[in-house]
């Protein structure tokens, strides 16, 4: 155990977050996401929700303030303007936890999968709410 480190941040996840550089991206996904087969390393966090993992990650990782879209979620199929419960929760967490809060942007479903395939890692959670997926771009620490 470490002081001031959220216990949701497993040794493997802490290693990945520390190894990431400025501009690298990480996915926090729900239980339905194809995390194991989409490409990058998949870290399992089945006992946590996506919101819990997001809050834990943002407690140690800054979002990139040099891009307009450091936080991306998947659009609802057939209703791209809808804001699912999980996404509304993500926005609240970003507003309260991120060092530089930002508005979440969205990507069409297959564009989201393509972007996720090129990320540094995926954290697959036990999140059961639909559309509980978010991509974060790492910023810099000054």
Residues marked active site are found at 22, 64, 113
- The residue behind tokens 């993992």 is 53
3-class SS of residue 73? strand
CA count, 13 A, side-chain hemisphere, 90 = 33
Helix (H) or strand (E) holding 134: strand 134-137
C-alpha span between 15 and 87 (Å, rounded): 26
- The residue behind tokens 């990650």 is 57
């Amino acid at each position: 155990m470490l002081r001031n480190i959220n216990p949701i941040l497993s040794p493997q996840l802490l290693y990945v977050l520390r190894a990431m550089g400025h501009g690298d991206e990480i996915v926090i996904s729900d239980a339905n996401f194809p995390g194991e087969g989409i490409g990058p390393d998949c870290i399992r966090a089945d006992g946590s929700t996506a919101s819990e993992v997001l809050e834990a990650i943002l407690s140690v990782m800054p979002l990139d303030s040099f891009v307009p879209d450091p936080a991306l979620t998947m659009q609802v199929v057939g209703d791209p303007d809808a804001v699912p419960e999980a996404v509304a929760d993500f926005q609240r967490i970003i507003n309260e936890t991120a060092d530089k809060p930002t508005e979440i942007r969205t990507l069409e479903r297959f564009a989201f999968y393509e972007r996720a395939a090129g990320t540094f890692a995926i954290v697959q959670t036990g999140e059961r709410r639909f559309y509980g997926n978010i991509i974060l771009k790492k910023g810099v620490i000054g």
